[in-house]
Structure 1
Amino acid sequence: MTQPTTTSDVLRGRTVAFLMANSGVEEIELTGPRDAVTDAGATAVLLAPEKATIQAFENDTDTAGTFHADHAVADADPADYDLLVLPGGTTNPDALRLDQEAVDFVRRFVRTGKPVAAICHGPWTLVEAGVLSGKTLASWPSLKTDITNAGSEWVDVEVQVCPANGWTLITSRNPDDVPAFADTIVKTLT
């Protein structure tokens, strides 16, 4: 497995948004990429429907750490961020799909042409935003039908980078892929 890049200033001046529900994010799918970008000098900003506590989980059922949202997604501007990360966890993107502000933020972010990264169940929010047509991506296997129905090609690979349609999409399948996923995010921003 590829180890995350840890050069201390390669991403200095870059800001990465992490969008998640206030409950349900898979902890390693948040902390792995967050730590990789901050270790590389970027600023990580946590966005959620409410500027409040974010409860993370391990394997969807075991309570893990808590984090604090830096901003409510309704108050966030895609222009302020260089890359958007959509971590997984089954209930996390399922909740985001029902939050119109989150879905609208994703649509607006994609329109900027900046890169988006999604892991595991994270692509569900992209499906809901209607931005996946013509893309090739990896995800948790149960999303294959949703991704295909959204006009995309699903692949079973550790990391998929797809530059189609004027914006780069970085995707991975599951928590085991986090090191390669995080490394690809850092490399994309350098």
Structure 2
Amino acid sequence: MPENEETTEQVESAPQETDAAPEAAASEEEPFDRARAEEKIRKANSEAKNLRERLKELEPLAQKARELEDAQKSEQERLTEQLTQAQERIRTVQQRAVRAEVRALAAAEFADPEDAHAFLSLDSYIDDSGEIDAAAIQQDLKDLLKRKPHLARSSGDVSPRPPRPDRSQGSSGNGSRTPTRPEDEFAGWLGNVLGKTS
């Protein structure tokens, strides 16, 4: 029985709380007071201005704190950071070199050499001394063409064809045209301009 009494108390207290909510909402609905709103805005703007000024005052102190922190770092920490940055630069250069090697080796057999390095793990071709293993790249390119033959260059397209000359371009395409000197062109232009004004 005591459990039933607790549940009835909870049920009775719930409606009382919901009845209080509309009264609170009604008391919050006051008419708009422009002067009070403008005062609140003025006060908020003033506080924001004070905070901006304070921030400007504290920025040099924060910079000095960063400088002191850097100065207090041990030589080992600075060298470790420099080493990490150097290793990242080396890795980037090695990636570019491997990508270029893959494109060069794929140019003979792939329709688009750019496709080749997209399917290969470039990190696996660099040994501990930093050398690129071209033989492994060639083997992996052959294996890639076996798995994905659609990447291969078509049999009739053995080498890129040079573009055909277009005889309509340049001075040779216009047989009646004679070479002109800059002085003659300027004289002709000047004559046209002076002829139009008179």
TM-score (norm 1): 0.20
Q: Which has the higher contact order (CA 8 A, sep 6+)?
A: 1
TM-score (norm 2): 0.19
Bigger-Rg structure (1/2)? 2
Comparing both structures, which one devotes a greater share of its residues to strand?
1
